[in-house]
Structure 1
Amino acid sequence: MTVFRPCIDLHEGQVKQIVGASLSDSAPSVLKTNFVASHPPSYYAALYRQNGLNGAHVIKLGPKNDEAAKSALTAWPKGLQIGGGINIDNAQEWLDAGADKVIVTSWLFPNAKFSIDRLRALAEKIGKKSLVVDLSCKRRGDKWIVAMDKWQTPTDTEVNKETLDMITEYCSEFLVHAADVEGLCQGIDEELVRRLGEWCTIPCTYAGGGKDINDLALVQRLSNGKVDLTYGSALDIFGGTGVRFDDAVEWNRTSRA
């Protein structure tokens, strides 16, 4: 059954909603921000905890976010997942700091090439149950190519059944941002959601383009209930007008009833 999975996106220590395609280290002036929170990360972590929204992902978009991320984890120990700059040297530290799971992307792609050896080593060190693999991607024709470094750099890896089957052996969950539509609130990548529903055999959360509460029913239909949905910029708690947070919580409550 498809459920709403919330997020806390951190940029320079603040909770923000950013248009994914505008993130660039080489041209920071092009960054497009939809929302900058007046509340600290811990506020959102506590809100999710109060509403039983397990499995929210906290994503550190670049440096200067560690303190903010730890404040969220302190507000809900073992209730959140943490991603952004995770590698084999710091993964256990973040689990010890209160993360339920760590989310890894770029470290698995040295020189933008996927390393099964790195994935295997990380899974052996922390256990696959504590590991989420982020396969956030950009569309290239009729394919989706994993993008790393805040979605700036394309890798050699296509998101398809073969890739997902290979990685499933070493992790407990997938996170997939459709970077091309992230933050635009103009609709999800329906074909990607459909394919993820066909290909995934472990839990998978899709993010990108969600614009109204009906997208939850759409994702459920497209994926046969195998894929969960994250809303960001459309949510009223992030300054959006498309989705009431309370409605998303209610969807989860009735779905699990």
Structure 2
Amino acid sequence: MTKFRPCIDLHDGKVKQIVGGTLRDEGAGPKENFVSDRDPAWFSDLYRQSDLRGGHIIQLGAGNQEAARDALGAWPGGMQLGGGVNLRNAVEWIESGASQVIVTSWLFDQDGRFREDRLKELAREIGRERLVVDLSCRKTKSGWTVAMNRWQTLTSIDVTHATLDALAEWCAEYLIHAADVEGLCGGVDAELIDLLGAWGGVPMTYAGGVAHMDDLNVVAERSGGNIDVTVGSALDLFGGSGVRYEELLAWNERSKV
């Protein structure tokens, strides 16, 4: 059954909700929907108290490592960690308290070509069960194409059932942001959810566009319950008005039935 999984997005060391398509290496800063006055550990501890497992902490750029470690320390083994993960630091993040590490950009060269050797090497280093592959993507002429470098650069990989089959041998889960709708609170990408839900292999979490509780029903129904979902800018914890945290806890309780 579809469950809610929590998130903590870090930018410049603070918990934020950002419109995904506005992240850039240069130029004006990203469009921010929310900047919290609470530290990351507060959110992690809240999720611990609610026993919400399998959520993720994402570092959006540099300057977030201390904040990420604080969040992991508030709930050792309770959350996944992504953003800047590679072969050199994956073990360190797990030792810092990450249940699993999430990797995207490091699996590609600077031109966006997939490096299967890196995926296999990382899986062998930390164990397949500790590895989550992020296939966050943008809509393209070929369907949905994985985007790296904070969703700025399209890669050589499309999100297809063949791709999901091939990579699942080396990872325990997928995390998939629909980057074009991320942070917009305009509804989920139902066609992408159809594609992902029809696969039904390793567990996966969808993120992007959730505006109301009805969107969770869309994810659950169109995926056949095969996909979990996270909620960002619409959530009251992050300044939103469309979804209340207590509603999500109740949703998860119902999903156990």
TM-score (norm 1): 0.98
Distance in structure 2 (CA, Å) of the matches to 1:253 and 1:40: 27
Q: Percent same amino acid at aligned positions? A: 54
- Does the 8 A contact of 2:174 with 2:204 survive in 1? yes
Structure 1 equivalent of residue 38 of structure 2: 39
Distance in structure 1 (CA, Å) of the matches to 2:214 and 2:164: 27
Structure 2 equivalent of residue 193 of structure 1: 193
**Pairing 1:207–2:207 present:** yes
Q: Aligned letter for 2:182?
A: E
Structure 2 equivalent of residue 49 of structure 1: 48
Structure 2 equivalent of residue 241 of structure 1: 241
- Does the 8 A contact of 1:161 with 1:200 survive in 2? no
Distance in structure 1 (CA, Å) of the matches to 2:142 and 2:91: 37
- What value does the CA root-mean-square deviation take over the aligned residues? 0.8
Distance in structure 1 (CA, Å) of the matches to 2:25 and 2:117: 28
Structure 1 residue 21, shift from structure 2 partner: 0.2
Structure 2 equivalent of residue 20 of structure 1: 20
Structure 1 residue 69, shift from structure 2 partner: 0.2
Structure 2 equivalent of residue 169 of structure 1: 169
Q: Aligned letter for 2:98?
A: A
Q: Aligned letter for 1:209?
A: G
- Does the 8 A contact of 2:142 with 2:158 survive in 1? no
Distance in structure 2 (CA, Å) of the matches to 1:183 and 1:201: 27
How do 1:80-99 residues align onto structure 2 when only pairs under 5 Å count? 80-99=79-98
Structure 1 residue 200, shift from structure 2 partner: 3.7
SS at match of 1:147: strand
Q: Aligned letter for 1:237?
A: L
Structure 2 equivalent of residue 232 of structure 1: 232
**Pairing 1:143–2:127 present:** no
Runs of 4+ in 1 over 6 A off after TM superposition: none
More off after superposition, 139-148 vs 31-40: 139-148
Deviations 1:97-130 (A, max 9, x none): 0000000000001121111110000000100000
Distance in structure 2 (CA, Å) of the matches to 1:140 and 1:30: 25
Structure 2 equivalent of residue 7 of structure 1: 7
SS at match of 1:110: coil
Distance in structure 1 (CA, Å) of the matches to 2:26 and 2:97: 33
Structure 1 residue 31, shift from structure 2 partner: 1.4
Q: Which runs of 5 or more structure 1 residues have no equivalent in the other structure?
A: none
Q: Which runs of 5 or more structure 2 residues have no equivalent in the other structure?
A: none
TM-score (norm 2): 0.98
| Number of aligned residues | 256
Distance in structure 2 (CA, Å) of the matches to 1:142 and 1:187: 22
